[in-house]
Structure 1
Amino acid sequence: MGRMPLVSTARGSAYLSALAVEIEKKLQRALASASQRRNLLQELFADVALEIDDRAREIILGEEGAISVEDDGYGGPICFYDVLANHFVSVPQDGQSILNLIVQLWSQSFASNIFALLFHKWLFEVQLDNPEVLLRYSSALVQGATNVFWIDIQSNARRFQSLFQYLLEEVALYPERLKKIPLQAQRDLFLLLSRFIFFYNLVDKLESFLKQFPDFPNAFLIGGASDILVTELADQLQKLKVEPVLLHYLSQIKVLQGLELRMTTSTRLKTCLYSFTSPGGPMYPTRAVRHAAWDALDYLFPVGTYPRHVISLFFRLLYPWYWPSSCWNFVVACIQAVLYSVLRVIFSGWENLTRSKQP
C-alpha cells in the first residue's frame, strides 16, 4: 500500500517556504561557526525530526486535514521532515539553497541525516545527469538513513517509519525509481533495507523485496538474495543491545522458514541464534531473550532439537552461579503448570455441572 499523500494548502505552502528559510539560516550559521557547527546541525536535525503539533498541522494541511489526518500513512506520527520532503519535490527551488549548504557540510555529523530526511523523495523525482553527483547524493542518502534507523533502534521507536517505508515500497519495489541511482547505491540500499525490514514490521513485503534484489558481483561466493538477506540479518542481530528490539527481531525471524539458503548461510544463522541461548559471555542474554532464541532456533531448524538442548544443558552446568536462578525458575514453572492444570479441571467441572442443571 502506497503512502497517503500529505497535501498542503496555499497557506501551508507559504508556511513551509518560511521553514525552509529558517533551515537555510541555521545551515549558514553552522557553516560560518566551526566551534558551534556540530551543535547547530544536531539542533536542526532534531527540529526536522520533530512531530508536527496541532497548530502547525492546521496551517499546513488545513482544518479538515488537521482533524482527519492523524498519522503519516505508515502508522507513525507526521513529522516536519514528512511535509518538507513533499514540499521540496513540489517546490524544488525552496530546497536548492539548503542542498548547496548541506553539500558544503558533507563531512559533518548529522549532515547526511538531514539530507536523508529532507531530500529522500527529491532525489528520485529530479533528473540528475552528473553520475558523480548522483553517486554522492545516493551514498549520503544510504548513510543518513542508516543513522536515523539506528536512532529508532536505540530508542525502540518508529519515528522514521515513513522514510523506511518510502525507500522500500516506493524505491526498492519500484524499478523505475530504483534505476535512477547507481548500481552500487542500489546494492547498498538493499543491504540497508535487509537489516531493518524486520524492525519496521514489513516482513509481508519480504517475497517481493527478494525478487527485486540487484545483482551482486560476488554472488557465486555469497549466494542469492535470500543468502544476502539472512547474512545481513545475522550481523544485525549481533549488534542489537536493546532487549525489546532484539525480542521483536526474534519473534519476526520465523518468517524465514522455507527460504532456500546455502549451507554456510544456514549455519551462520543457526550459530547466531545459538549464541543467544546460553547465559554468560559474550552476549549475556536475558532469560526472555534466551527463550525467544530457543523458540526461533527450534522453529527454523527442527532437526537436531533434542541434541542441541542436551548440549546446552551440559554447558549450563559450567556456570554454577546460575544454578539457583535456574532451579527457582524451574520450580516456578512447575507450580504454574500445576495451578493451570487444577484451574482447568475446576472450570471444566463447573462448566459440566452448569450444563447438567440446564433443562
Structure 2
Amino acid sequence: MPRPSTTTSSGYLLALTQAIEKKLQRALASQSQRLNLLQELFAVIALEVDGRARDIIHMRDDDGVSPEEGRIQNQLCFYDVLADHYVRVPDSGKLILDLIVQLWSQSFASNIFALPFHKWVFEVQLENSEVLVRYSSALVHGATNVFWIDIQTNTRRFFSLFQQFPVFPNAFLVGGPADIFVIELTDQLQKLKVEPVLLLYLSQIKAFQGLELRMTTSTRLKACLYSFTSPGGPMYPTRAVRHAAWDALDFLFPVGRYPRHLISLFFRLLYPWYWSSSCLNFILSCAKAILYSILRLIFSKWENVRKP
C-alpha cells in the first residue's frame, strides 16, 4: 500500500487545527454552551489516534525519519501530534493561542493550552515577559490538572507530557523542564494524604539522583522530603512514611546526612510524649533483628549438617 504524500499529512494537520479553531470560536460565541464545548474539545485532543490517521500523520521528512515515529512507543494521542507540529510550524497555532487567551478564565482552557503547546512554550521567543509569564502559568496549571486526571483514573494518557523533553535554550523563570517537574511534584506530594500513594512516590523519587537542578529547586525538594520525617502536625506522617522520606532524603542528598539525623533526634527529645513509642519501636526492631539473626544461624547450621 503506497504511503500518503507529505502534502496529505500537512493537509490533515491543517484540517485538525482548523477544527480546533472552529470549536474555540463556537465556545467564545456561545456563553451557555461554552463549558460543554471546551470539555468536548479537551476530550477530542486527548483521544488516541486511530490506525488510519496514524498512517497519514507518520510522514517521513527529507532524512527519512518521522519525528513522531522516533518518539512514540505504544500510545499516540492527538495532542502529541499537535505538540510536534506547533514546534515545527509555530505560526500554525497563532489563532488558537489568541482564542485560548480570550478564554483564560474558563474551565478546561488551561488544559487545552497545555496539551498541544507544552513544547512550544519552551521553544517560543517572546520579547514581552508578561505574555511569557501568562503562558508559563497556564502551562503549569493545565499540567497539574491533567496530572490529577491520570491519578484519579489510574491511567497514563498524559504521561508523555511529563517525560524528559529536550532542554531548550530559553528555559525561563524556574529553569528547565526538570526544574518545573520537580517543583510541581513537591507541591503535589504535600497534598497527598494516602499512605500507599506517598510510599510509592517516595520510593520512586530516588530516580532524581544525578538530575541537574537549580539550587532553589534542589532546596525545595530537600525541604519537602524533610517535612515528612517528623511526627505530628501539620503532616502527621506515619512511621512508614517517615522512614521512606528519610531513605529518599539520605539517598538524594548524602552530604549532611548525619547532622540532619542528629538535629532531628535533638528536636525529638524536646517532645517526651513521643519517647514511649520510639523506645517501643526500637526494642521491637532490636528483638526482630536478634530473632532473624538466630534463625539465619540455625538454618545455616542445618544446611551444613545436611550437606555431608
Distance 1:118-1:342 versus aligned 2 partners, 3 A rule: same
Given that 1:112 and 1:140 are in contact with CA atoms closer than 8 Å, whether structure 2 keeps it comes out as: no
Q: 1:109 aligns with which of 107, 110, 132?
A: 107
Letter in 2 for 1:26: K
Shift in alpha-carbon separation, 1:35–1:347, aligned structure 2, 3 A: farther
C-alpha RMSD of the superposition: 4.7
- Residue 291 of structure 1 is matched in structure 2 by 243
Cα distance 1:51–1:238, how it changes in 2: closer, same or farther (>3 A)?
same
2:32 corresponds in structure 1 to 35
Maintained 8 Å contact 1:113/1:143 = no
1:17 corresponds, among 14, 18, 22, to 14
Instruction: Report the counterpart of residue 196 of structure 1 in structure 2.
Output: 181
- The counterpart of 1:145, out of the listed 123, 139, 147, is 139
Are positions 1:26 and 2:23 aligned together? yes
Structure 2: unaligned runs, 5 residues or longer: 60-66
| Cα distance change, pair 126–150 in 1 and its aligned pair in 2 (3 A) | closer
Structure 1 residues 25 and 276: alpha-carbon distance in aligned structure 2, compared to 1, 3 A threshold: same
What corresponds to 1:100 in structure 2?
A: 98
Alpha-carbon separation, structure 2, partners of 1:124 and 1:146: 12
For residues 140 and 180 of structure 2, the distance between their equivalents in structure 1, rounded to whole angstroms, comes to 10
Equivalent of 1:252 in 197, 206, 209:
206
Task: Give the C-alpha shift of residue 13 in structure 1.
Answer: 3.9
The answer as to whether partners of 2:202 and 2:248 remain within 8 angstroms in 1 is no
Task: Write out aligned runs for 1:284-323 (5 A).
Answer: 284-296=236-248, 299=254, 300-303=256-259, 305-306=261-262, 308-309=264-265, 311-312=267-268, 315=271, 317=273
Normalised by the length of structure 2, the TM-score is 0.67
Q: Which runs of 5+ in 1 are unaligned?
A: 1-7, 63-68, 180-185, 201-232
If the length of structure 1 is used for normalisation, what is the TM-score?
0.59
- Residue 84 (structure 1) aligns with: 82
CA positional deviation for 1:26: 1.6
Q: In 2, distance between residues paired with 1:245 and 1:115?
A: 29
Residues in 2 aligned to 1:90 and 1:269: alpha-carbon distance in whole angstroms: 34
Matched, 1:49 2:46: yes
Residue 83 of structure 1: CA displacement?
A: 0.5
How many pairs were matched up? 287
Distance 1:27 1:254, change over 3 A: closer
Q: Retained in 1: the 8 A contact 2:231–2:237?
A: yes
1:345 aligns with 2:287: no
By how many angstroms is 1:28 displaced?
1.6
Q: In the superposition, relative to structure 1, how do residues 279 and 126 fare at CA in structure 2: closer, same or farther (>3 Å)?
A: closer
Question: 1:340 offset after TM fit, Å?
Answer: 3.6
Residue number in structure 1 paired with 2:62: none
